[in-house]
Amino acid sequence: MSETTNLRPDRAAWLKGPAASCSMKPEVLARPWRLVLLGAPGVGKGTQAELLGSRLKACQLSTGDVFRAAKGLKECERSPAMTAALGYMSRGELVPDTTVLAMIQERTSCLTCGGGFLLDGFPRTVTQAEALQGILKEKGIKLDGVLDYRLPLEEIVSRLSGRRTCAGCKAVYHVTGRPSKVAGVCDQCGGKLVQREDDRAEAVRVRMAAYQQSTSPLTAFYEKLGLLITIEATGTPEEIFLRTVDVLQARI
Ligand code: AP5
């Protein structure tokens, strides 16, 4: 595994769709990592994906980031499905599988990228997981593992309530746990830090229920495939990152 760098690919092909090209293409690696990050909302998947992305040189592919990027478009530039998806998101509900899978189908080039990938927030239902297995099989690609982050609910709620996200590059901060150097300003791109609409208490309750009902069955799905890696998500982001790297090193 190579050293951590601060250079972050802009993920244009992922965030904006296949017509956009990434300004900084990931290297084609001899050993690309292809991982899925699982875990309840707010457990720290995005934070770990960012840290792992620097170390493994793989792009963080977050489905939530794609939907939030669509929010920045004018209404006439968004497809009706994307506009509907934003409604589901703001209420904390899952976006329908058909919409999510159509969006993934448009972005399969990110799954075949020579730098590997870190899927964050997808798959989220068994239907999505089965569809992903189908796409990967068709492309001749295998997952290296599924990282399942675990944390008690009280700590998750505290992480969500203090979260701030960069409106530009989507980097994630926490008002006390991982503050930016200048309050309200992203360390990486100078963008404005904002609170996510779905971090309101009511939407958080709906997201947790959706996770219990639809996403937690994925642990059994991936356990059966021999891919599940459970990781304790207590401690600082760096501690959890090192724990993750240790587990991955053992699988090389
Ligand atoms: P998505 O964007 O995927 O959100 P999520 O799964 O709810 O996860 P979060 O981004 O809230 O949390 P995280 O685990 O990444 O935590 P983070 O690192 O930010 O999805 C949003 C919505 O989009 C869904 O509700 C749904 O509507 C829709 N959607 C997306 N994908 C979909 C799909 N496939 N199917 C259907 N619908 C879909 O960390 C949280 C906070 O904690 C941060 O402030 C961070 O700084 C802090 N923190 C992290 N680690 C630590 C630590 N170790 N100690 C202290 N603080 C920490």
* Centroid of ligand 1 to alpha carbon of 160 (angstroms): 8
Region for residue 140 given its phi and psi (left: phi exceeds 0; alpha: psi -120 to 50; beta: otherwise): left
Per-residue confidence (pLDDT) for residue 23, from 0 to 100: 76
CB of 87 within 8 A of CB of 13?
A: no
Domain that holds residue 165: 153-199
Counting every residue written for the chain, the total comes to 252
Same-domain status, 109 and 192: no
> Which residue's CA lies nearest to atom 17 of ligand 1?
44
Per-residue confidence (pLDDT) for residue 3, from 0 to 100: 57
The DSSP letter of residue 77 is: G
Same-domain status, 44 and 133: yes
What's the average model confidence in pLDDT over 16-24?
81
> DSSP letters along 184-249, please?
TB-TTT-PBEE--GGGSHHHHHHHHHHIIIIITHHHHHHHHTT-EEEEE--S-HHHHHHHHHHHHH
CATH code where residue 147 lies: 3.40.50.300
43 lines ligand 1 (CB under 6 A): yes
> Which residue's CA lies nearest to atom 40 of ligand 1?
42
CA-196 nearest atom, ligand 1? 11
More confident residue, 202 or 185: 185
Characterize 41-61 residue by residue with b for buried, 16 or more Cβ atoms within 10 angstroms of its Cβ, and e for exposed. Answer: bbbbbbbbbbbbbbbbbbbbb
**Average pLDDT of the chain to the nearest whole number:** 91
100 lines ligand 1 (CB under 6 A): yes
> Which residue's CA lies nearest to atom 23 of ligand 1?
64
Per-residue confidence (pLDDT) for residue 5, from 0 to 100: 54
Which are the contacts of 170, defined by CB distance < 8 A and separation ≥ 6? 15, 62, 65, 68, 69
45 lines ligand 1 (CB under 6 A): yes
**Residue 211 maps to a domain:** no
- In tens, the pLDDT along 202-212 reads 899 999 999 99
Same-domain status, 54 and 103: yes
Same-domain status, 174 and 143: no
Per the annotation, the verdict on 55 as an active-site residue is no
* Centroid of ligand 1 to alpha carbon of 44 (angstroms): 6
CB of 59 within 8 A of CB of 11?
A: yes
Same-domain status, 170 and 244: no
Same-domain status, 36 and 87: yes
Per the annotation, the verdict on 34 as an active-site residue is no
* Centroid of ligand 1 to alpha carbon of 30 (angstroms): 30
**Residue 3 maps to a domain:** no
What's the average model confidence in pLDDT over 15-20?
84
CA-121 nearest atom, ligand 1? 3
Per-residue confidence (pLDDT) for residue 8, from 0 to 100: 66
Same-domain status, 109 and 231: yes
Whether the predicted pLDDT of 26 surpasses 90: no
Per the annotation, the verdict on 207 as an active-site residue is yes
Same-domain status, 31 and 50: yes
Per-residue confidence (pLDDT) for residue 69, from 0 to 100: 86
Same-domain status, 92 and 58: yes
53 lines ligand 1 (CB under 6 A): no
Per the annotation, the verdict on 45 as an active-site residue is yes
Query: How many structural domains does the chain have?
Result: 2
Whether the predicted pLDDT of 195 surpasses 60: yes
Window from 19-23, 92-96, 108-112, 209-213 with minimum mean pLDDT: 19-23
The strand pair at 145-150 and 33-38 is best described as parallel
The catalytic position among 34, 163, 164, 178 is 163
121 lines ligand 1 (CB under 6 A): yes
